[in-house]
Structure 1
Amino acid sequence: MAVQRAPKKLAKFFDYILSRRPDEFGLVPDADGFVKIKEFLKAVGEEDGFRYVRRAHLNEIMLSVPGHPFEISDNYIRSTTRDRLPQHRCTMEPPKLLYTCVRQKAYPHVHEKGIRPAGHPRVILSAARAMAERIGRRLDHSAVTLTIQTQTSMDQGVIFFQAGENLFLADFIPAQCFTGPPLPKDQPLLKKPDASAAVPARKPAGGYHIDMDDPQAALVPKSKRGGHPDGKRIRKPKRKRERPPWRR
């Protein structure tokens, strides 16, 4: 079981993430420095020994730590000191290969139409495959990893922005500028049985079948159909029951 840190130590760790190196944890703050609390807690929980951290720990820090280093607005959180946050700047020399992940269900569409932002204003890319997969698992545990050729992308007019040491952003990645695993083969559809095909009627097992539409069926003697030849009902003799000894 992980040892829980004191609120003051947690606050110091959170300040490092939000005010200095959000990219180190796969986070990209917006223009005002905010990140979603849900994403922030997922990123913190991925670190060894911090899986226990919940929203309640943020509230505890705000109540118990004087001058706490972050502020919360609705479902977003940001640092109170943002002058050291990495700025998003355009780069003309990105790494030759960048990586990103998409949802497994969306992959066939992405494979045909290209990569568009999901949950963020821009597509988040990473120079490290492991970081891209870490970010992708926050959206889908079965996320598909894609490899982007940056030179081919720039030839198609894509502009890359650097957001920290290893994270990059783009508005859109065309379909011909990345590679990924082969698409799953379409499963052959099973043919449904033809409802118009006549199904042969089953005859009852045993006994004598009488076709009620056949006028000759009435001429069949009852002895053939069961019962007395004269048409009388055969009655079984009644069994005489003896009185119990205690009633005699």
Structure 2
Amino acid sequence: MDHHDLVRVSKRISLALRHRPDRFGLVLDRAGWVPVTDLLAALGIGRAELDAVVAGNDKQRFVVVRGADDVDRIRASQGHSVPVELGLAPAVPPDRLYHGTSERVLPAIRADGLHRGRRHHVHLSPDVATARRVGARRGGAVVVLTVDAAAMAGAGHLFFRSDNGVWLTDTVPPRYLTA
């Protein structure tokens, strides 16, 4: 599988597991899991293609586990716009986290902070390089915001860490952000 094919299949898997399982005839369980065989049939791909996408995804967007029933299951690590309960426990974040975004939305973020939009949480990166890559997806000039996660946690904001290391929280008020 070349890079273009990996990206194309990864986007289809993301759509199926994060946003539109109904479009593919899939039913996610409460925690977002679906049998691998169901996903393969719904997308018309083989196990080797799926394994290549899971292994080759730089952000480790997907997790595959074998259940007690010997059935392999897959879910997206985070980023769902459909109702799921990932079962993540609150975690103490590092003092600083980062959020990459486009310069064109900076005035709105400075005024209102970061909000989850259609997703379950705001996504924050543990390092500047990752935040810069995330921000670059939006096009235009990239701005990396620093989040004072220690102060937020001290004020009672909850943080969660997904399976792939992305930090999640409900909102980031503007007073905790610096550009």
TM-score, normalization by structure 2: 0.55
Residue matched to 1:96: 95
Q: Give the SS at the match of 1:106.
A: helix
1:134 corresponds to 2:150? no
Partner SS for 2:152 = helix
Instruction: Between the two structures, name the one with larger relative contact order (CA 8 Å, sep ≥ 6).
Output: 2
Alignment of 1:1-248 (within 5 A): 4=2, 31-32=31-32, 62=45, 65=46, 69=50, 81-82=73-74, 89-118=88-117, 120-180=119-179
C-alpha root-mean-square deviation of aligned residues, in Å? 4.1
Question: CA deviation digits over 1:48-77, x for unaligned, max 9?
Answer: xxxxxxxxxxx7x62xx478648xxxxxx9
How far apart in 1 are the matches of 2:129 and 2:152? Answer: 22
Aligned to 2:38: none
Distance 2:139 2:118 in 1: 12
In 2, are the aligned partners of 1:33 and 1:78 still within 8 Å (CA)?
no
Please say which structure displays the higher CA radius of gyration.
1
Higher helix share: 2
SS at 2:89's partner residue?
A: strand
CA contact (8 A) 2:101 2:136 kept: no
Distance in structure 1 (CA, Å) of the matches to 2:122 and 2:102: 13
1:116 shift after superposition: 1.0
Structure whose residues are more often strand by fraction:
2
Q: Deviations over 1:151-210 (max 9, x none)?
A: 111233321111125311111001111211xxxxxxxxxxxxxxxxxxxxxxxxxxxxxx
**Equivalent pair of 2:100/2:133 in contact (CA under 8 Å):** no
User: Residue 46 of structure 1 aligns with which residue?
Assistant: none
Contact 2:101/2:134 (8 A) holds in 1: no
State the identity as a percent. 20
Count of aligned pairs between the two proteins = 130
Q: Which runs of no fewer than 5 residues in structure 2 stay unpaired? A: 20-30, 35-42, 52-61, 65-71, 79-85
Whole-angstrom distance in 1 between the partners of 2:153 and 2:47: 48
Which residue of 2 is the match for residue 226 of structure 1?
none
CA distance in structure 1 between the aligned counterparts of 2:166 and 2:151, rounded to whole angstroms: 19
Cα gap change, 1:168/1:88 in structure 2, threshold over 3 Å: closer, same or farther? farther
TM score, norm. by length of structure 1:
0.41
CA distance in 1, matches of 2:155, 2:97: 16
Structure 1 residues 148, 66: closer, same or farther in 2, change over 3 A? closer
Task: Please say if residues 101 and 136 of structure 1, whose CA atoms lie closer than 8 Å, have aligned partners that are also in contact.
Answer: yes
Q: How far did 1:94 drift?
A: 1.1
Which structure 1 residue ranges, 5 or more long, are not aligned? 23-27, 35-58, 71-76, 181-248
Specify whether residues 142 and 33 from structure 1 end up closer, same or farther in structure 2 by C-alpha distance, changes over 3 A only.
farther
How far off is 1:112 after superposition? Answer: 2.0
In 1, Cα distance between equivalents of 2:47 and 2:107: 51
Residues 101/126 of structure 1: CA separation in 2 closer, same or farther (3 Å cut): same
**CA deviation digits over 1:194-245, x for unaligned, max 9?**
xxxxxxxxxxxxxxxxxxxxxxxxxxxxxxxxxxxxxxxxxxxxxxxxxxxx
When residues 154 and 131 of structure 1 are mapped into structure 2, their CA distance, relative to the original with a 3 A threshold, is same
